[in-house]
Structure 1
Amino acid sequence: MKIENSTAIITGGASGLGEATARLFHGAGARVALFDLNRERGEALVGELGENASYHEVDVTDHAAVTRAVGEVRERFGDLHVCCNYAGIAPAVKTIGRDGPGDAALFAKVININLIGTFNVSSIVAYAMAQNQPLDRDGSRGVILHTASVAAYEGQIGQAAYSASKGGVASMTLTMARDLARNGIRVNAIAPGLIHTPMFDAFPQEVYDSLSRQPLFPVRLGQAEEVARLARHIVENDYMNGTVVRMDAGIRMQPR
């Protein structure tokens, strides 16, 4: 499936990996719809991109809000072809906290946004994609891309909730691809390693430097644009389906 002339929904599209993907896809001729809670940043980005970009204030866990926004995108841009799920949070949740058992409410919040939110958006978008006319002789109707993490496999201390959520995303990918195969919809996931997003800018320099030395090669943090390029390849490579691709410069995360 070509990015050019496609319509892509990008959750978490106002910053980080979502912003980088939105910029790349839009530059390649796609219509992009940004789903994000940061209205100021989302509207500013759409203003910068100009034509064929839209912002929608969406909580990915809210079924009605997602359904409404998907309808708005279809009304403006027509058929949906691509969905990139980047929206997520990563607060620290330990099994035992300083004052007692771990924060179960915060654990549930992480699962709700990162895992259930991914399913919620994907199922609503897939229903819309299934109504498309086939785009090629294979019967392709759409591509869904999830964001897992190397934490799904090597979660560090304090990442109990995040690792569980991303492990769920990774495990869900093949099953969702099997569910949607009859509809001509491919489903894949990227499992990034240490990628330089705005979150890293808040770290002390010594922490930033320590993280930058951990990848095997190249010895640096990954760039959001590199993840975006992989996202484009997965969308355009019609034989990629049901897989989780690590993008981590060979890193294997240590306990801390």
Structure 2
Amino acid sequence: MELSDTAVIITGGASGLGEATARYFSEHGAKVTILDRDAERGSSVASEIGGYFAETDVTDETSVASAVSLAAESMGKITAAVNCAGIAYGIKTVGKDGPHPLDAFQRTIDINLAGTFNVSRLAAAEMVKNSPDPDGARGVIINTASIAAFDGQKGQAAYAASKGGVVGMTLPMARDLASSGIRVMTIAPGIFMTPMLAGLPEDIQAQLAADVPNPARLGDPREYGRLAAFIVEMSYLNGEVIRIDGALRMR
């Protein structure tokens, strides 16, 4: 698959890793449709890159089905899906205010894990309609986990569980979709300069960066976008999780 012939949907594409990926793909010739709950920001980014936008709740089947349909109609096809939508809470299992609120745990699972699967399954159903290339390929799905899936810290029970689920479904989903020529990959980012981190004081940012062995800095969201683009074009990558973290192992 060539990036210049790619038609991609990107969840969470209005900001952070998703926005950087949308911009990178568009700059390299791909058709892009952004799926996000933030209609104002999502429409603005889509307009800037010459792409399309669909206001989307990844946890809602009807919302995602409508977005996938709009994207397929607007771009003529869907050959790639990059799932970047996600949330994170910092809450201990039992803290000074009592036990972890169950609704916060459930919401994290609903968006990060169930939402990822919801978009993946509906995007795959659209990709099946594509004519296979000479290698038999019809599409690729790229999901976003986190190094927290492996090295979750205190306060990350919900987040780590959701991202561990994304890691866990990578191989079986790749096996499920193999006969349809659809690959499934997962990226597990380390600490990246997303809007959430950009709002922290500079000394806190410096402390976080100092923990990264090499290079000793926070990740650039465009590096995530470049890796996603590499996965699209490298057709023998399938059913695997790639960490992009500067060799960081959380303590």
Fold match by TM threshold 0.5: yes
- The residue number in structure 1 matching 2:208 is 211
Q: With the length of structure 1 as denominator, give the TM-score of the two structures.
A: 0.96
Query: Does 1:145 find its partner at 2:142?
Result: yes
Where structure 2 has 5 or more consecutive residues not aligned to the other structure, the ranges are none
Q: Which amino acid aligns with 1:69?
A: A
Choose from 187, 191, 194 the match for 1:194. Answer: 191
Where structure 1 has 5 or more consecutive residues not aligned to the other structure, the ranges are none
Choose from 241, 244, 249 the match for 1:247. Answer: 244
- The residue number in structure 1 matching 2:175 is 178
Contact persistence 2:33–2:71 (CA under 8 A):
yes
Looking at structure 2, the residues matched to 103 and 245 of structure 1 have their Cα atoms a distance apart, in angstroms, of 31
- The residue number in structure 2 matching 1:92 is 90
Equivalent residues in 2 for 1:8-19 (5 A)? Answer: 8-19=8-19
Q: State the SS of the aligned residue for 1:222.
A: coil
1:99 shift after superposition: 2.4
- The residue number in structure 2 matching 1:234 is 231
For these two proteins, the number of residue pairs brought into alignment is 251
Equivalent residues in 2 for 1:51-200 (5 A)? Answer: 53-135=51-133, 137-200=134-197
- Regions of 4+ moved over 4 Å: none
How many percent of aligned residue pairs carry the same amino acid? 51
Contact persistence 1:145–1:188 (CA under 8 A):
yes
Q: Which moved more, 1:109-118 or 1:89-98?
A: 89-98
Looking at structure 2, the residues matched to 127 and 58 of structure 1 have their Cα atoms a distance apart, in angstroms, of 18
Looking at structure 2, the residues matched to 165 and 224 of structure 1 have their Cα atoms a distance apart, in angstroms, of 21
Contact persistence 1:93–1:107 (CA under 8 A):
no
Query: Does 1:42 find its partner at 2:37?
Result: no
Q: Which amino acid aligns with 1:81?
A: T
Q: State the SS of the aligned residue for 1:144.
A: strand
